[in-house]
Amino acid sequence: MDLASHYNNLFTESCEKISNDNYVIDTQIDDLCDNRLGITLLIRPSEEIKNSIQLFLNELKGIDASQYYYPNSDIHITILSIISCYDGFDLNNITIQDYVAVINKCITGLNKSVINLHGITASPSAVMIQGFPSDTSINDLRDNLRSAFKQTTLEQSIDKRYSLFTTHLTVVRFRKPIKNKDLFLKTLHKYRDYNFGKFEIKNLELVHNDWYQRAEFVKTLSDFKI
């Protein structure tokens, strides 16, 4: 299935679930005892694009401020969750340079792809900005990383949750029952084909992160120039 069709099917199915109160509320967002941590390879859009996204989020906040809205500092696209967040993960138990070495090998010759952020989609638990890469470089990199890490004995949990092939940005998570649900859905449809802009991938970040990539818990482990 192509990326546009995947996003479209996800949006249609999720809006129906939201309309029927079958959406998923994340009960751990406000849990002060949530110690799930891991490491992730990611990219971040430009500040201009983040600010464009905030205009959309501000409109949703005006309808229902009780949901979890991502600040600019936390907005990202996951290239690969190398160690998915889990309770008890300790950075001291791995050797960061071993992971950096694998990634450096895999990014050799990587193109400076452009990602076009056009429209929004949703899941039963979140709202996302749709990302469309200009070529196959990101998914080629993902495949190379999958193959390279499988050939090592390094701790990793790649694709344990699901096999990632999209370039979306999660910007809202549901943490309370949605207020003004009809207007909330109407606003999602309003931004269904909104152009948030495009940016060139100039670097990747390997980070130690919590489940929500909150800046206060994120530590940059390495930065990779493309």
Give mean pLDDT, residues 195-205: 97
What pLDDT digit, counting tens, does each position of 128-148 carry?
A: 999 999 999 999 999 999 999
| For residues 184-196, average pLDDT | 98
Q: Average pLDDT, stretch 169-178?
A: 98
- What share of the chain in percent tops pLDDT 70? 97
pLDDT at residue 54 tops 90:
yes
Q: What average pLDDT does the structure give for the chain?
A: 95
Q: Is the pLDDT of residue 162 over 60?
A: no
- Mean pLDDT computed over 90-95: 96
Tell me the average pLDDT across 120-129: 98
- CATH number of the domain to which 98 belongs: 3.90.1140.10
pTM exceeds 0.85 for this model = yes
Q: What is the mean pLDDT of residues 161-165?
A: 72
Q: Quick one: average pLDDT of 157-161? A: 73
Is the pLDDT reported for residue 26 higher than 80? yes
Asked whether 113 and 137 are in contact (CB, 8 A), the reply is: yes
The pLDDT value given to residue 157: 87
Alpha helices in the chain (DSSP H): 3-19, 47-63, 96-107, 137-150, 181-190
- Domain containing 122 equals 3-225
pLDDT at 1 exceeding the cut of 80: no
Instruction: Taking residues 125-129, report their average pLDDT.
Output: 98
pLDDT above 90 coverage of the chain, percent: 92
Q: What is the pLDDT of residue 161?
A: 61
Query: Sheet of 169-173: strands edge to edge?
Result: 68-69, 169-173, 126-133, 114-123, 195-200
Domain count across the chain: 1
Burial class (CB in 10 A: 0-12, 13-18, 19+), 185: middle
Name, in order, each residue with C-beta under 8 angstroms of 55's C-beta and a sequence gap of 6 or more: none
Mean pLDDT throughout 60-64? 98
